[in-house]
Amino acid sequence: MSKESARQFVKRMQDDKGFAGEVEKLDNKVERATFIKKQGFEFTKEELTAVASELNAVDVVGGKCCGIRCESDCGTTDLIQ
């Protein structure tokens, strides 16, 4: 797990609407976390939050997951089981 992986994930969510849509359409946190890991991303909630702060991506920390929807629904901040 790494901040670099979290950084790449945030950038991909922001830049690749197709990828973001795939993440969004998954039904629950477990499915989203599994999909995200299969895409090669591994990071903790803390790493994601730190990267979001560094990138000034307030949507990640402020309630939306990379501009998509609430991170409590998305599951991106719950990748550590």
Flag the least confident range among 7-11, 38-42, 52-56, 66-70: 66-70
Rg (CA), the chain: 11
Report how far residue 20's alpha carbon sits from residue 66's, in angstroms, rounded to the nearest whole number: 9
Q: What share of the chain in percent tops pLDDT 90?
A: 27
- Mean pLDDT, range 26-50, rounded to an integer: 89
CA distance from start to end of the chain: 13
Q: What residue ranges do the domains of the chain occupy?
A: 3-74
The whole-model pTM stands at: 0.70
